């Protein structure tokens, strides 16, 4: 199984983060506001927004 690079947008104490890591995923967590360009540069496999305080725009 390949390791996925996941951007987790939300609080660092979320129980989802260790669960994803236990299943072999690389998790990058932030609660900071990000631009679409910053996210696109990193080439994440998945983006998880859970308890994230900022609105994600389609751009």
pLDDT at 57: 75
pLDDT tens digits, one per residue of 9-56: 999 999 999 999 999 999 999 999 998 888 889 989 999 999 999 887
> Can you give the residue ranges of every domain in the chain?
5-49
Check whether 59 has a pLDDT greater than 70. Answer: no
Q: What is the C-alpha separation between 15 and 23, in angstroms, rounded?
A: 13
Give this prediction's pTM.
0.85
Select from 39, 43, 42, 44 the least CA-distant residue to 57: 39
Please tell me the predicted confidence (pLDDT) of residue 1: 66
* pLDDT at position 58: 72
Residue 6 pLDDT: 97
Q: Tell which phi-psi region holds residue 8, choosing left (phi > 0), alpha (psi between -120 and 50) or beta.
A: beta
């Amino acid at each position: 199984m390949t390791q996925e690079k996941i951007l987790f947008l939300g609080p660092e104490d979320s129980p989802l983060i260790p669960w994803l890591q236990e299943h072999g995923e690389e998790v990058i967590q932030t609660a900071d506001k990000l631009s679409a360009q910053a996210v696109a540069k990193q080439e994440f496999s998945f983006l998880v927004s859970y308890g994230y305080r900022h609105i994600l725009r389609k751009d």
